[in-house]
Chains A and B, each alone.
Chain A
Amino acid sequence: MADPTKSKIDQHSGTPTMGHEWDGIEELDTPLPRWWLWTFYACILFSLGYVIAYPAWPLVNSYTKGMLGWSSRGDLARDMAAQAAKVAPIHRAIAATPIDQLPANAALMQAAVDGGRAAFKVHCVQCHGSGAAGSKGYPNLNDDDWLWGGDLVTIEKTIIDGVRNPDHAETRMSIMPAFGRDQLLQAAQVDDLVAHVRTISGQQKPDAASRRGGQLFADNCAVCHGPAGKGNRELGAPNLTDGIWLYGGDAESIHQTVWNSRQGVMPRWGDKLDPATVRMLAAYVHSLGGGEAAPVPVPVPVPTVAAAVDNGAAEATSDARQ
């Protein structure tokens, strides 16, 4: 504040000084322009109006709501509703389009992939990871190795029915026996089998153990994994000759797998998510880089050994349920 006892008129400008002085430098007491004052009053008026119109004062358990009834949560709800209304026709279109016809509509496919990416973050990342890269026991969905098949229709079915849901007849079901634990094989035989599996996957050279294991494989494993160990997608039997191991390809992990068996479970999503979301998830997973083209349909299904094997698997399933 000005010190009136020391204030004086500045000679050059004719303006009074504040009365302060620092090393001969004095401060002028220049009046503010009046319009500035009116601007200030206008701001005060505006803030009064704002306090009346919008939420402003915190109370103990609540707050003043404001005449306009605006709230940031209401805003968010409106935004969400608007977004839902915006995507509703897209979701309807996706739900109405069989998934194998989705790629024909590039825009709809892209919408499905984008929607699937969002849904994946909510429902799938807990097991498959945020980048869908999986981890031990949870498949990497980016790669080109599929237990049940990597085309759109198959992926969608896997998502709808899940894997090893005992209360669901349509579920993906494959049960590998626990060869060691259930004493189907001797400990030494399991070691030989492991040697054989590591040989056919190119991880070690054939030796006496792996040759013994080869015979054991033909007797015990080939029925599902195929004579060459290439797997069988009908049964969800993994390919044992490729570079991808769900539970690890080192000797110890394979030994564990053969001894105890592995039976990962995926929930069935068909009863939890709407068809459009499932379809979008399938499109997204397919888009990650490992998606396969739809298999050329076989005109006439010929009864083969595979069918017999299928029946065997069904029996194994019913056994497992007891």
Chain B
Amino acid sequence: MTAAPLSLYAKRKGVYPKAIDGFYRRLKWVVMAVTLAIYWITPWLRWDRGPYAPDQAVLVDLAHRRFYMFAIEIWPHEFYYVAGLLVMAGVGLFLVTSAVGRAWCGYACPQTVWTDLYQHVERFIDGDRNAQIRLDKAPWSAGKIARRVAKWSIWLFIAFGTGGAWIFYFADAPTLQQQFWSGTAAPVAYATVAVLTATTFILGGFMREQVCIYMCPWPRIQTAMLDEKSLVVTYKYWRGEQRGSLKKSLAQPDAFGDCIDCDQCVAVCPTGIDIREGPQIGCITCALCVDACDKVMAQVGRPRGLIDYCTEDDATAEKAGRAPRPVIRSLLHVRTLVYLTLWSAVGVAMLFALGTRTRIDISAQQDRNPIAMRLSDGTVRNAFTVKLRNMESRPRPMRISAEGLAGVSLWTDRDGRADARAAIDTIVPSDSVAKLRIFLAAPANGPQREDFAFTVRATDREGGTASEPAHFERLQ
């Protein structure tokens, strides 16, 4: 059969999901409420860190290069914690996918949550599915314009709230809010809000399932990650086919399956697919079709679960008339356990590292040009730029010495060689890096390259040390 000439481009098919109530719809409500609450409330939580640090519980302070998360403060050189979090997020998605399929897509993905929110607004203004279809087809009239303006205004308001909340993660929220409204915030804040408002409005209001199908890489990755033990929303065709209307199937019970072809599963689908065509990339496994079908099955007095979460293994078992495996066995199989172990291992390792990390650090960079030079008394001088990190939120006295270098004396560019001594005392301000230029003089006779260690010791009550290996270079 030869194909008819086909346009290269396809218009988006309108999706007008019908309102539905049921277990999964309520689950979606809860997830939506929780995720939106986390998003909007988090920047406003306070956390007392003393006088030298901000009191915002979660703060990505790009200007000062600090990341605060409740009791944890991360410096840029500790970025591996962020890398660890990203690894956990990645493995976590693998874990969720192998256990419960595309649950992320169906419930927690921001695209899903905001689209869902926008669709509720749409229903509130335009009415349910049929009214929406009618309104779309209707010619422009005062009533239609009024409804469109109302809907888009609310969408824009939500989009602005979404874009507006984002910037509060990057600066003190109450201060920034005042600055924002008084027009004194940084231009980048307004630009960020504008961009995120626009993307939220467009992606949530108009692009919707197109984002999932054409723009997002995650469905493609997940397609490769699903296996016969992953939960997917399944139309049990062996039970549903041959489809027929209720009237026909009642007249000829042997000729027809349980599906009465009412199309409710299609009507409620937020991505506009027909789940009865089998697993497909457009299915975000939100299970609203399960709710819809269960409701219909209850009405016609047939058992629920014609469309249901079901693994491919269970489908095979059910087709063969065997009992499906308990859900717990579907969730806990080798792959999920491996992912769970990996995920926990990264988490435990990070917690361990957090618990044992030092809050004092030293790094030393040697002058390379010249690397060594002779002083008039015949000794050799090297110069280092030494950085002391005080990661506590209080000033700390520290002492720097060069361990393992015989006859060495140290001085800084602030004093002179007249003040040369065996160790340098300094006070490092709270939560900051102190940079010192340190000169070392040592006798000229010795190995051309001598190992030693720059050591810093906090001289307050809490103490703590850190050291950095270095070399003392002599002239040939």
Contact = CB atoms under 8 A, between A and B. Distances in A.
Nearest to A245: B374
Contact of B377 (A9, A142, A243): A243
Given A9-B1, A16-B6, A35 B210 contact: yes
A143 B416 contact: no
Contact of A131 (B11, B370, B378): B370
A143 B6 contact: no
Contact of B375 (A29, A33, A144): A144
B208 to A, nearest CB: 11
Contacts of B375: 143-145, 243-244
B376 A244 contact: yes
Interface in B1-33: 1-12
B201 to A, nearest CB: 15
7 contacts: A7-B2, A31-B6, A31-B7, A32-B9, A133-B370, A144-B376, A239-B376
A262 interface: no
A242 B9 CA distance: 86
Contacts of B10: 31-34
A287 interface: yes
Nearest to A16: B3
Say whether chain B's binding surface is mostly helix, strand, loop, or mixed.
Answer: loop
Nearest to A38: B9
Q: Which 9 A-B pairs have the closest CB atoms?
A: A131-B369, A16-B3, A133-B370, A243-B378, A242-B376, A31-B10, A145-B376, A7-B3, A34-B9
Interface string B260-296: 0000000000000000011000000000000000000
Given A34-B12, A242-B376, A243-B378, A289 B6 contact: no
Contact of B374 (A31, A239, A243): A243
Interface in B359-389: 367-370, 373-379, 381, 383
Contacts of B439: 289
Contacts of A292: 416
A210 interface: no
A17 B8 CA distance: 13
A12 B3 CA distance: 14
B460 interface: no
A171 interface: no
B416 A31 contact: no
Interface in B325-383: 367-370, 373-379, 381, 383
A142 B375 CA distance: 9
B134 interface: no
Contacts of A180: none
Contacts of B278: 12
Contacts of B377: 242-243
B378 A33 contact: no
Contacts of A8: 1-3
A140 B210 contact: no
B417 interface: yes
Interface in B199-239: 207, 210, 214
B476 to A, nearest CB: 14
Nearest to A142: B373
A35 B334 CA distance: 43
A36 interface: yes
B417 A144 contact: yes
Interface string A20-49: 000000000101111111000000000000
A129 B368 CA distance: 13
Interface in A267-319: 287, 289, 291-293
B413 interface: yes
Contacts of B413: 287, 289
A126 interface: no
Contacts of B376: 143-145, 239, 242-244
A34 to B, nearest CB: 5
Contacts of B210: 33, 35
A130 interface: yes
Contacts of B416: 291-293
Given A289-B381, A293-B416, A143 B8 contact: no
A133 B372 CA distance: 9
Contacts of B4: 16
A133 B2 contact: no
A57 to B, nearest CB: 31
B374 A143 contact: yes
A292 B4 CA distance: 92
Contacts of A17: 3
Interface string B49-92: 00000000000000000000000000000000000000000000
Given A4-B3, A144-B376, A292-B416, A35 B12 contact: yes
A201 B4 CA distance: 102
Contacts of A244: 374-376
Given A4-B3, A133-B369, A142-B373, A37 B9 contact: yes
A5 B2 CA distance: 7
Given A140-B370, A143-B381, A289-B381, 16 more contacts: A4-B2, A4-B5, A5-B2, A7-B3, A31-B10, A35-B207, A35-B210, A129-B369, A131-B367, A142-B383, A144-B376, A202-B378, A242-B377, A243-B376, A243-B379, A289-B413
